[in-house]
A = this chain, B = another copy of it.
Amino acid sequence: MAAAEQGVDAARKEEEEEEEQVVNPWEVSAGKGGIDYDKLVDQFGCQRIDDALVGRIARLTGRPPHCFLRRGLFFAHRDLNELLDLYEKGEKFYLYTGRGPSSEALHLGHLIPFMFTKYLQEAFKVPLVIQLTDDEKFLWKNLTIQESKRLARENAKDIIACGFDIERTFIFSDFSFVGGAFYENMMQVARCVTMNKAIGIFGFNLEDHIGKVSFPPVQAVPSFPSSFPHLFAGKDQLRCLIPCAVDQDPYFRMTRDVAPRIGYQKPSLIESRFFPALQGENTKMSASDANSAIYVTDSAKEIKTKVNKYAFSGGQDSIELHRKLGANLDVDVPIKYLNFFLEDDDELAHIKKEYKEGRMLTGEVKQRLIAVLSEIVARHQRARSQVTEEMVDAFMAVRPLPNMFG
């Protein structure tokens, strides 16, 4: 059966690969047995998010924690407790997240940080800056500047479609915004990081172009409120919270290392696991393989085909065996996807139990997933179709946000 064959292939591939997992902004390769998030936490030196912290966020915001949080999908942090201590005393913060606009259509994995950031913005009632690193994508991919800028704008539409509050949100692309105080901060950061250090953190080599080694300060400085004088003039010590996938941690390790040396606060972080490819956790969602991910532009039919055909199953080879042994939820992609997107905790628990104990079949789980994803994608498409060029201009206008802390 397809699933079983895939399993054998995956196992073989794993043995051929180095056991060591590699996680940085440009490469995520799992060791044997998938990404070891515990190891990552130790390796990066960040902290685990535990039930107490989730409960604290719920209490402080007066609303149930987002399912990404209560299900451990955002699993690690840096100095989040310190930020919440200050919040509890009435000191606000701002959110910073971003995206490298390398492709026309976003896939579901790309939406995760934005969905979560929207929840944080609403729950804490705080301003948000969203960086589109069109310069980064120009530097890393074989794109023209025009194309990078066009993709940034197209991606901005998908981001806006996630429902951000225009009264609290500033979206900018580097090509349109770098300069002034932002550039000054870039130089401040650059002066504090040696080439050896950058090579150590990011794995650059000397045949890489100098654009790559110049880039980390660009992603660092939105962590500092003084980079946005139109928003945070006179609030140089305002705290920043960065929701992101854990592969972005190296940028902010560097940022946190530099911050106190240039008189700024270290940003806090809240970091997510990776959203797996349809083929499983040890493969990558790839822009060049449309069948590795569900895109926000996919039709209901495409979603159905992709899930049925490519979503790696933890079910058994035959119905008889499945009824007897049940599914292996640890490797089952439909369950992993439902874990992200099926909001009803009771239903999710029920499906997991039934599937694990062999009473539910892969086909049935996939059918539920198809319904869930189709609804999310259709909703996104409806929202995106409402986003006009004028709205993009409005979100990206360099302007004060008078009610951002209101």
Question: CB < 8 Å: which of B139, B184, B216 contacts A191?
Answer: B139
Question: CB < 8 Å: which of B138, B145, B178, B205 contacts A179?
Answer: B178
Interface check A217, CB cutoff 8 A: yes
Map CB proximity to B onto A283-299 as digits: 1 under 8 Å, 0 otherwise. 00000000000000000
Q: Name the residue on B nearest A191 (C-beta).
A: B211
Q: Name the residue on B nearest A214 (C-beta).
A: B214
Interface centre among A139, A175, A214 (most CB of B within 10 A): A214
Asked if A210 and B183 make an inter-chain contact with CB atoms under 8 angstroms apart, the answer reads: no
Asked if B187 and A179 make an inter-chain contact with CB atoms under 8 angstroms apart, the answer reads: no
Asked if A213 and B187 make an inter-chain contact with CB atoms under 8 angstroms apart, the answer reads: no
Q: How far is the CA of A193 from the CA of B195 in the complex (A)?
A: 15
Q: How far is the CA of A204 from the CA of B199 in the complex (A)?
A: 15
Q: Name the residue on B nearest A217 (C-beta).
A: B210
Q: For residue A174, which residues in chain B have a CB less than 8 angstroms away from its CB?
A: 183
Q: Name the residue on B nearest A146 (C-beta).
A: B184
Q: How far is the CA of A174 from the CA of B178 in the complex (A)?
A: 12
Q: How far is the CA of A135 from the CA of B185 in the complex (A)?
A: 11
Interface check A13, CB cutoff 8 A: no
Chain A residues touching B, range: 35 or more
Question: CB < 8 Å: which of B138, B179, B193 contacts A209?
Answer: B193
Q: For residue A191, which residues in chain B have a CB less than 8 angstroms away from its CB?
A: 138-139, 209, 211
Map CB proximity to B onto A165-184 as digits: 1 under 8 Å, 0 otherwise. 00000000011111110011
Q: A191-B139, A209-B191 are in contact. Are A184 and B145 (CB under 8 A)?
A: yes
Question: CB < 8 Å: which of B179, B208, B217 contacts A194?
Answer: B208
Interface check A198, CB cutoff 8 A: yes
Interface check A57, CB cutoff 8 A: no
Q: Name the residue on B nearest A183 (C-beta).
A: B178
Interface check A132, CB cutoff 8 A: no
Q: For residue A214, which residues in chain B have a CB less than 8 angstroms away from its CB?
A: 190, 210, 213-214, 217
Asked if B195 and A208 make an inter-chain contact with CB atoms under 8 angstroms apart, the answer reads: yes
Asked if A135 and B187 make an inter-chain contact with CB atoms under 8 angstroms apart, the answer reads: yes
Asked if B187 and A209 make an inter-chain contact with CB atoms under 8 angstroms apart, the answer reads: no
11 A-B residue pairings within 8 Å (CB atoms): A138-B187, A139-B190, A145-B184, A178-B179, A187-B211, A193-B210, A195-B204, A195-B206, A195-B208, A195-B213, A214-B214
With A139-B190, A179-B179, A192-B209 known, 14 other A-B pairs at CB within 8 A are A139-B191, A175-B187, A178-B179, A190-B209, A190-B210, A190-B211, A193-B209, A194-B210, A195-B195, A195-B205, A195-B206, A195-B210, A198-B210, A210-B214
